Amino acid sequence: MQSALVLGAGVMGLSAAWALSRAGWSVRVVDQDPVPNPRGSSVDDHRLIRHAYGAATGYMRMIDPAFAAWDLLFAEAGERPYVPTGVLALANGPGGWLAESRAALRGDGHAVTELDAATVAARHPFLMPDGIAAAFHLPSGGVLLARRIVELLARRLAARGIDIRRGQAIAVDPAHGAVTLADGVRLQADLLVFAAGPWAPRLVPGLAARVRPTRQIIVRLAPPPEHEAAWQSAPMLLDLAGDGGFYAVPPVAGTPLKIGDHRFAPTTDPDAPREATAAEAAEILGLARHRIRDLESYRVISAAACYYDVEAEERFVVERLGERAFVMSGFSGHGFKFGALLGLALARAAGDPALAPGLAGWAAGATPPPPGLLADLEQEQAA
């Protein structure tokens, strides 16, 4: 049996370990922190999954197989930590991301309903209509309960007898499939998978020139009683502006309402504190003040920093490093939704080197998947 060593136990590392185990590999996982890692990009209440993707049709077309991959994992685990909400997208001007999304979605046959500002406010009384130049509703899409999914994956690995070892990598040797830990232990396997999130550019040769860590702020809120019920049944909200805008995740399955920023922050240190400053939280609230009615009456539950690994064009880096290693990086804030799918695809490419070049282009949203890359899902659908 071939062996695999996965460095990083966020959603990508755990998904890769799960998929490699399903494919018959003997797998070990290493992470510098407990699992779920409280400092990990994957460990939050929610992540969004949606077909609306601007002009990035490659990623739009990856959403259906992403849903299928999650269904495969959820069926195996016997639970479904996902809440469908649909999507409400707003823009303060013509063109841009919203118009590109609308055109791409309609081109692929998705049901998109255009809305005017008055209709948006009538349907969602917690929103103010001022400045809405364009809007649409998309019934597909929803909230992946991220923390619960990471916990689920860790349990599935334990059930498969996969060890998750605590340890900090200080040196890597992709050519020999080896990692040296801070305690001096050297681990080696037939296959090494780097999935270390914002820490990966420190370790993987050449990656720092392509991927950088950024600090993103999220704010968790409790709506006032008069808006609570409307928020609980609300779609995810993407309020887009020329300078970035904000997104809002409705309070589903006992989680709080969350708002965050579409812009990427400057490069930063992923070991910096996770607590957000009052000024950082106020800046995020300022982005939403023009849109969320009575925002001053919302209670701030908490604010936190999340560290992402960002590629310059927001394209995922899932590539071979020589013959014995793969890197999974550059997932920004939108990679989580593809965790199970990318894990399955990587396991297929690890078993068939001819698939690896096609994996890289497909994961970057540039090319269709090569035949056989998504065989796990095709077999499941045929069963």
pLDDT of residue 35: 86
Confidence (pLDDT) at 258: 97
Verify that 43 and 172 share a domain, yes or no: yes
More confident residue, 73 or 93: 73
List, for residues 230-241, the tens digit of each pLDDT value: 999 999 999 987
| Confidence (pLDDT) at 243 | 66
Q: What is the pLDDT of residue 383?
A: 63
In percent, the amount of the chain with pLDDT more than 90 equals 85
User: Which CATH number belongs to the domain containing residue 138 in this structure?
Assistant: 3.30.9.10
pLDDT of residue 26 exceeding 90, the answer is yes
The tally of domains found in the chain comes to: 2
Look at 116 and 270; give whichever has higher pLDDT. 116
* 70 within some domain: no
Instruction: Give a yes or no: residue 76 inside a domain.
Output: no
Q: Which residues contact 338 (CB under 8 A, 6 or more apart)?
A: 62, 66, 69, 316, 331
Question: What whole-number distance in Å separates Cα of residue 334 and Cα of residue 38?
Answer: 19
My answer on whether 128 and 227 are in the same domain is yes
Q: Are residues 198 and 223 in the same domain?
A: no
Phi and psi at residue 75, to the nearest 5°: -65, -40
One domain, residues 195 and 216:
no
Cite the DSSP H helix spans in the chain. Answer: 11-22, 57-77, 96-107, 117-123, 146-159, 200-203, 225-232, 278-288, 339-351, 356-363, 375-382
Give pLDDT tens digits for 163-193.
899 999 999 999 999 999 999 999 999 999 9
Structure confidence at residue 370 (pLDDT): 96
CA distances (Å), 33 to each of 9, 27, 153, in order? 9, 18, 16
Transcribe 203-237 into DSSP letters. HSTTGGGTEEEEEEEEEEEE--HHHHHHHHTPPEE
User: Can you give the pLDDT at residue 101?
Assistant: 96
Range scoring the smallest mean pLDDT among 65-74, 143-152, 192-201, 372-381: 372-381
Lowest-confidence region among 50-59, 69-78, 252-261, 273-282: 273-282
At what angle are helices 339-351 and 57-77 packed, to 10 degrees? 90
Same domain, 223 and 304: yes
pLDDT at 94 over 90: no
Q: Which tens digit of pLDDT belongs to each residue from 291-328? A: 999 999 999 999 998 889 999 999 999 999 999 999 99
Is the four-CA dihedral 319, 272, 217, 257 of positive or negative sign?
Answer: positive
Quickly state the pLDDT bin for 34 (edges 50, 70, 90): confident
Give yes or no: residues 261 and 366 share one domain.
no
**Average pLDDT, whole number, for the chain?**
94
Assign 253 to helix, strand or coil.
coil
Are 132 and 228 in the same domain?
yes
**Do 123 and 217 reside in the same domain of the chain?**
yes
Confidence category of residue 138, pLDDT binned at 50, 70, 90: very high
Which residue would you say has higher pLDDT here, 37 or 94?
Answer: 94
365: left (phi over 0), alpha (psi -120 to 50) or beta: left
Tell me: do 220 and 129 sit in the same domain.
yes
Contact 239, 136 (CB under 8 A): no
Q: Provide the domain limits for residue 247.
A: 84-143+212-311
Residue 133 has pLDDT above 80, yes or no: yes
